[in-house]
């Protein structure tokens, strides 16, 4: 399954104010096949980077999300949609513990139009609240909120 990944998390940033709106918990997943030139997170291309998502680590992420001032979870990478073992567990745990009171932002190198037509990817469009899509394109690099290049877009998928 090319989208499973190896169930690994590369980095967790509590109280993050740069990955989405509000104060958030950011989780960076390990592994990306895209390898965009100039990628800011090339150290996260390897699928065996970081640590395994154990129940203990998942509980720690949920604990970090508990304070009222935390608006939600941001999932980046690496490529979240090529790490669906982790992605599905994270989303399930957030909805189980917090319902829709915490929002979920996901960054992906896939474009939304591609995701819509891939049976293994399209579930994410009803699972996430916000999708930031498209690969980083070095020649289109720009100083934008939550994006690295002009081709990337922010899709608000829910009303949260
Ligand atoms: S999709 Fe994202 S993580 Fe993967 S190479 Fe491109 S910019 Fe880097």
Q: Which of 11, 26, 34 to mutate to test the pocket of ligand 1 (most atoms within 8 A of CB)?
A: 34
In the reported structure, the alpha carbon of residue 148 is separated from the centroid of ligand 1 by a whole-number distance in angstroms of: 10
Q: Is the CB of 109 under 6 A from ligand 1?
A: yes
Q: Is the CB of 29 under 6 A from ligand 1?
A: no
Total domains present in the chain: 1
Strand-pair partners of 9: 29, 51
Is residue 42, in this structure, part of any structural domain at all?
Answer: yes
Structure-token pair, residue 141: 């690099």
Question: Distances from the Cα of 16 to the Cαs of 23, 69, 72, 75, 139, in angstroms?
Answer: 6, 11, 10, 12, 27
Question: Distances from the Cα of 42 to the Cαs of 11, 36, 37, in angstroms?
Answer: 13, 9, 9
What percentage of residues in the chain have a pLDDT greater than 70? 98
Q: Which domain holds residue 148?
A: 8-156
Ligand 1 atom, smallest distance to 108 CA:
1
- Which is higher by pLDDT, 2 or 139? 139
In the reported structure, the alpha carbon of residue 68 is separated from the centroid of ligand 1 by a whole-number distance in angstroms of: 31
Is residue 1, in this structure, part of any structural domain at all?
Answer: no
Residue 70 half-sphere exposure toward CB, CA atoms < 13 A: 22
Q: Is the CB of 31 under 6 A from ligand 1?
A: no
Structure confidence at residue 160 (pLDDT): 55
Ligand 1 atom, smallest distance to 44 CA:
3
Ligand 1 atom, smallest distance to 32 CA:
4
Distance CA 23, CA 9 (A): 20
Is residue 2, in this structure, part of any structural domain at all?
Answer: no
For β-strands 141-144 and 147-149, DSSP reports them as antiparallel
Mean pLDDT of 49-54: 98
- Using DSSP's 3-state secondary structure scheme, residue 28 falls into strand
Is residue 113, in this structure, part of any structural domain at all?
Answer: yes
CATH value at residue 120:
3.20.20.70
Is residue 121, in this structure, part of any structural domain at all?
Answer: yes
Structure confidence at residue 2 (pLDDT): 80
How far does CA 157 lie from the centroid of its chain? 14
Residue 116 and residue 82 in contact, taking contact as beta carbons nearer than 8 Å: no
Distance CA 49, CA 10 (A): 6
Is residue 58, in this structure, part of any structural domain at all?
Answer: yes
Q: Is the CB of 134 under 6 A from ligand 1?
A: no
Question: Distances from the Cα of 18 to the Cαs of 15, 74, 122, 151, in angstroms?
Answer: 9, 10, 26, 19
Is residue 85, in this structure, part of any structural domain at all?
Answer: yes
Is residue 3, in this structure, part of any structural domain at all?
Answer: no
Residues 103-158 have pLDDT tens digits of 999 999 999 999 999 999 999 999 999 999 999 999 999 999 999 999 999 999 99
């Amino acid at each position: 399954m090319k989208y499973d990944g190896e169930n690994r998390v590369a980095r967790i940033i509590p109280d993050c104010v740069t990955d989405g709106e509000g104060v958030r918990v950011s989780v960076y997943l390990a592994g990306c096949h895209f390898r965009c030139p100039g990628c800011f997170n090339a150290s996260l291309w390897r699928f065996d980077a970081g640590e395994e998502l154990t129940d203990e680590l998942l509980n720690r992420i949920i604990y970090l999300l508990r304070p009222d001032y935390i608006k939600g979870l941001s999932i980046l990478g690496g490529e979240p949609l090529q790490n669906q073992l982790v992605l599905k567990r994270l989303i399930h745990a957030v909805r189980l513990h917090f319902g829709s009171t915490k929002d979920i932002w996901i960054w992906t190198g896939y474009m939304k139009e591609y995701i819509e037509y891939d049976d293994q990817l399209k579930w994410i469009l009803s699972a996430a609240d916000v999708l930031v899509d498209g690969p980083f394109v070095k020649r289109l690099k720009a100083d934008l909120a939550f994006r690295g290049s002009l081709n990337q877009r922010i899709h608000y998928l829910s009303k949260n």
